[in-house]
Amino acid sequence: MPDAEHPQLRTFGRIKARPIKPRQAALLETLLPRLRVPAEPFDPRALAPAAREIWLEIGFGGGEHMAAQAQRHPDVLILGAEPFQNGVASALRHIDEQGLQNVRLQDGDARELIGHLPDASIARAFILFPDPWPKTRHHKRRLVNAETLADLARVLQPGGRLRFASDVAHYVDWALERIIASPAFRWSAERADDWRRPAADHVTTRYEEKRLGDCAPVFLDFVRI
């Protein structure tokens, strides 16, 4: 377990890029404190007692997918984690413009949020286009690893679903190898189109449309056994 002398390796890169626009900066000061999840163990049901399910998006980028799913499913509470400040600011804009009441945020490492969640509290988890850390010496920083998968297995309900997507071929192979090696997950694909085409409920974002990777987007869906 990580400690002060042996901290967890970062699985994300920079936390801020261009200057944040004034309106979004204001939302960071006013809206984010109201949406931020507790910085200690908590029961997400207490945040939204009427929620049908609790979903988790790890690394929500600019928040497009998270906001769209929240709008489509107002009876679901979506927890989102993102360390990139510009992304958090963008997500807050989406939340504010759409008047979403069913989103709560962690503006930091998703692994901290997962560590604060109770067992079997999450029905769905999304890891969409995470930092691929393409250099071989940095592969150890990839989010999909045995430790993170064990943590996800703990918080996902039996029958809960995990979706991983990437447009980096090596990371797709990496993730598939590690997730199917876990006894906690079953790959749900039955035919090639199940990973070559996005599921009907997927939300395509502007980032995904840029096709910055080296292959067409691949979508891997798993079930918590």
Residue 221 Cα to chain centre, angstroms: 14
Task: Give the HSE-up count for residue 8: Cα atoms under 13 Å, Cβ half-sphere.
Answer: 14
Residue 6: which pLDDT band, with cuts at 50, 70 and 90?
very low
Enter the tokens of residue 133. Answer: 């850390």
pLDDT over 80 (residue 39): yes
pLDDT computed for residue 82 by the predictor: 96
Instruction: Report pLDDT for 5.
Output: 54
Residue 138: the pLDDT is 85
pLDDT at 1 over 60: no
Q: What is the mean pLDDT of residues 70-82?
A: 98
Residue 7 has pLDDT above 90, yes or no: no
pLDDT at 147 over 90: yes
Q: For position 10, what pLDDT does the model report?
A: 54
Rounded to an integer, the average pLDDT of 187-203 is 97
**How confident is residue 16, by pLDDT bands cut at 50, 70 and 90?**
low
**Residue-level pLDDT at 93:** 97
* pLDDT bucket at 19, cuts 50 / 70 / 90: confident
Counting residues of the chain whose pLDDT is more than 90, the rounded percentage is 88
pLDDT of residue 9: 57
CA distances (Å), 169 to each of 42, 96, 174, in order?
37, 35, 9
- The full set of domains in the chain, from first to last, is 37-224 (3.40.50.150)
Residue 88 has pLDDT above 90, yes or no: yes
Q: What is the mean pLDDT of residues 30-49?
A: 98
State which H helix or E strand residue 22 sits in. helix 22-30
Predicted TM-score of the model (pTM): 0.92
pLDDT greater than 90 at residue 119: yes
Q: What number of other Cβ atoms are within 10 A of residue 160's Cβ?
A: 24
pLDDT at 15 over 80: no
Tokens of 47: 């945040």
Query: CA–CA separation, 95 vs 24, rounded Å?
Result: 11
**Above 50 in pLDDT, residue 106?**
yes
Enumerate the active-site residues.
131
Task: Report, as an integer, the average pLDDT of 97-107.
Answer: 98
Assign 202 to helix, strand or coil. coil
